[in-house]
Amino acid sequence: MFELRQDELHSAFGDPVLGSIGFLNEIMSRYPDAISFAPGAPHLTFLDNFDVARHIDTWIDHQVTQRKLSREQARRLLYEYGPSRGLINELVADALRRDHGIDAGPDAVVVTVGAQEAMLLTLHALCAGPGDLLAVVDPCFVGMRGAARLLNVNVVSVDETEDGVDIDGLRTQCRAARSRGERIRALYVSPDYSNPSGSLTSLGARRRLLALADQEDLLLLEDGAYGFTAPPGEEIPPLKALDTEGRVVHLGTFAKVCLPGTRVGYVVADQLIRTSDGGRRLLADELAVSKSMVTVNTSPICQAVVGGMLLEHGGSLKALAQRKSELYRRNLALLLDALDRHLSPEPGQPQAVSWSRPAGGFFVRMRLPVPADAALLETAASDHGVLWTPMSQFYESGKGENELRLSCSYLEPDRIEEGVARLAVFLRKEVGSGRPSGTRTAPPCR
Ligand SMILES: Cc1ncc(COP(=O)(O)O)c(C=O)c1O
């Protein structure tokens, strides 16, 4: 049998960042009865009564009434290849304007196969040469680091502060890159309850980041995946809504506000490009061209499902996301409450483990006094029936070895309670948390 050698394939294979999702799936499949705080999966309640046919019909009706197509013509749009740019661009652009103050026309939107494809296409377009670097916040969503690895884009990491990216650190990195003859072309940033750390970037820090992008001549690739989970009244405008200079490319996904299985995302790229013949195009035009060589177009059927769902909520992303946002915040509150009850130390005793207290998003970050590595995870799964995600895989710099990520988006309240009870027993036994003496302590966690 003919065999291929791994060292003759792309060097990304074998990189742990590409294997991180597989690693978690593998351990979850070996311990099906464990309560897993690992995946940021949707809650099952949103899968019940998910009426694909009705959503598609809603979208078809809209084509008939708004675009004056016959029913047959509208249906054919679903069954054929479609424009690379997408079919629901206008709906997406309108919703982004109305709900988030992002003022970009449908021609600046490309509908992609998840936010993942949007990341890949954008990086591919922007990082043209070996000296074009991507900066990421440490820790960072593996999807972006994996895309960079596939495209041979070199990555530099910038620390995270209480208020998102360390802006002074980013400035230093930009200057250091220039002195080496390289440039930081873009920073990937997830300002709303980021995955994995759950951090939130304040309005002031968003404005400072935009100013820095202008001063240091870089783009901001903003991932808005978890913005919909902000508590009412605490929403902060996306970077793209604050962007007066065209510095922000906004990446979005319907994975959390509809369902991941739709595989529909989008990119808003309204940057003007001067072409060699003196013409002008949008970055979105170029992304649509490259998309035509990657996935050709995003499934029209899936776009119609998402479009129909949007239309059934008055074309509003906020209305579409409202029930999900409420349920995910409820779960987060239950998780934080259970952690307080099960893991707070006795009065006068040191805090052995610490954890973050995000107001939204899917993720709580916990810090242990010992490495939260694969061996410890195996013990948690086999001896205590509880799973979590080691954070070190999210760090570019190799830090985070004592941290783990807890996610509770898809769990029922009683499973959250039981899972935290198991976690507490595990931590007491294996880590020493909560013991009256000999307790090792972890530094505080944001
Ligand atoms: C930060 C972030 N961006 C985007 C996504 C979703 O990407 P996609 O639309 O490709 O499913 C996720 C999903 O986990 C995420 O955590």
> Nearest to residue 253, comparing CAs of 115, 120, 116?
115
Instruction: Flag whether 424 is in a domain.
Output: yes
Instruction: Kindly state whether residues 121 and 77 are assigned to the same domain.
Output: yes
Chain segment 393-405, per-residue pLDDT in tens = 999 888 999 999 9
Q: So what's the pLDDT on residue 332?
A: 98
Residue 220 burial by CB count (10 A; 0-12/13-18/19+): exposed, middle or buried? buried
Q: So what's the pLDDT on residue 444?
A: 60
**Tokens encoding 395:** 């760090």
Average pLDDT, the chain: 94
Question: What percent of the chain shows pLDDT beyond 90?
Answer: 85
Instruction: Flag whether 445 is in a domain.
Output: no
- Nearest atom, ligand 1, residue 40 CA: 14
Instruction: Flag whether 159 is in a domain.
Output: yes
> How far does residue 107's CA lie from ligand 1's centre (Å)?
23
Q: What does the pLDDT average to over 373-381?
A: 95
Instruction: Kindly state whether residues 144 and 252 are assigned to the same domain.
Output: yes
pLDDT tops 60 at residue 435: no
> How far does residue 58's CA lie from ligand 1's centre (Å)?
26
Cα–Cα distance for residue pair 352/431, rounded to 1 Å:
9
Residue where the block lists tokens 């895309």: 147
Cα–Cα distance for residue pair 392/394, rounded to 1 Å:
5
Q: So what's the pLDDT on residue 82?
A: 95
Q: So what's the pLDDT on residue 443?
A: 58
Instruction: Kindly state whether residues 293 and 371 are assigned to the same domain.
Output: no
Instruction: Flag whether 436 is in a domain.
Output: no
Angle at alpha carbon of residue 64, lines to 92 and 88, rounded to 5°: 15
Q: So what's the pLDDT on residue 77?
A: 95
pLDDT tops 70 at residue 439: no
Q: Provide DSSP, 244-272.
A: SSS-EEEEEESTTTS-GGG--EEEE---E
pLDDT tops 70 at residue 183: yes
pLDDT tops 70 at residue 442: no
Last residue of a domain, one of 319, 344, 364: 319
Residue 62 makes CB contacts below 8 A (sequence gap 6+) with 307, 308, 311
> Rounded to the nearest 10 degrees, how much is the dihedral formed by the CA atoms of 322, 53, 98, 214?
90
> Nearest to residue 289, comparing CAs of 110, 80, 79?
110
* 284 touches 291 (CB < 8 A): no
* 379 touches 412 (CB < 8 A): no
In which domain, by residue range, is 412 found? 6-46+321-431
Contact 114 CB / ligand 1 (< 6 Å): yes
Confidence of residue 248 (pLDDT cuts 50, 70, 90): very high
Last residue of a domain, one of 319, 354, 383: 319
Instruction: Kindly state whether residues 267 and 227 are assigned to the same domain.
Output: yes
Mutate to test the pocket of ligand 1, among 112, 113, 123, 141 (most ligand atoms within 8 A of CB): 141
Contact 141 CB / ligand 1 (< 6 Å): yes
- Give the residue whose CA is nearest to atom 12 of ligand 1: 225
Q: So what's the pLDDT on residue 25?
A: 86
CATH of the domain at 364: 3.90.1150.10
Strands 183-189 and 132-138: parallel
pLDDT tops 90 at residue 352: no
**Tokens encoding 1:** 């049998």
Q: So what's the pLDDT on residue 440?
A: 47
Chain segment 151-177, per-residue pLDDT in tens = 999 999 999 999 999 999 999 999 999
CATH of the domain at 153: 3.40.640.10
Contact 42 CB / ligand 1 (< 6 Å): no
Chain segment 210-222, per-residue pLDDT in tens = 999 999 999 999 9
Q: Count the neighbouring beta carbons within 10 Å of the beta carbon of residue 337.
A: 13
Mutate to test the pocket of ligand 1, among 113, 141, 253 (most ligand atoms within 8 A of CB): 253
Instruction: Kindly state whether residues 333 and 425 are assigned to the same domain.
Output: yes
Contact 195 CB / ligand 1 (< 6 Å): yes
Q: Count the neighbouring beta carbons within 10 Å of the beta carbon of residue 389.
A: 25
Instruction: Kindly state whether residues 307 and 326 are assigned to the same domain.
Output: no
Instruction: Kindly state whether residues 195 and 216 are assigned to the same domain.
Output: yes
Chain segment 83-124, per-residue pLDDT in tens = 999 999 999 999 999 999 999 999 999 999 999 999 999 999
Chain segment 22-73, per-residue pLDDT in tens = 888 888 899 999 999 998 888 888 888 889 999 999 999 999 999 899 999 9
Mutate to test the pocket of ligand 1, among 116, 262, 394 (most ligand atoms within 8 A of CB): 116
User: How many structural domains are present in the chain?
Assistant: 2
pLDDT tops 70 at residue 437: no
* 105 touches 93 (CB < 8 A): yes
